[in-house]
Amino acid sequence: MKIAAIRGIPLEFKNHLILVTIHPSYLLRLRAQIGFEREQAMFLKELAKVAEFERAAET
């Protein structure tokens, strides 16, 4: 299974909710290339999803 196929989709793994994303160093390597802004925006959306999961788990 490719990461791109499940990236950003919440999955359950061993009774934990996980979210597959890229490693932040990928953005550093991509910085000067086409596609950086799209990848950065997607990564930030994924981090926001994780924050939502955490807030929901606290209640």
Domains of the chain by residue range: 3-58
pTM higher than 0.75:
yes
Mark residue 15 as left, alpha or beta (left: phi above 0; alpha: psi -120 to 50; beta: remaining).
Answer: left
39-51: b (≥16 Cβ within 10 Å) or e: eeeebeebeebee
Please tell me the predicted confidence (pLDDT) of residue 32: 83
Supply the pLDDT for residue 12: 93
Angstrom distance (rounded) from CA 4 to CA 12: 17
**What pLDDT, in 10s, does the model give residues 16-59?**
889 999 999 999 999 888 899 999 999 999 999 999 998 988 87
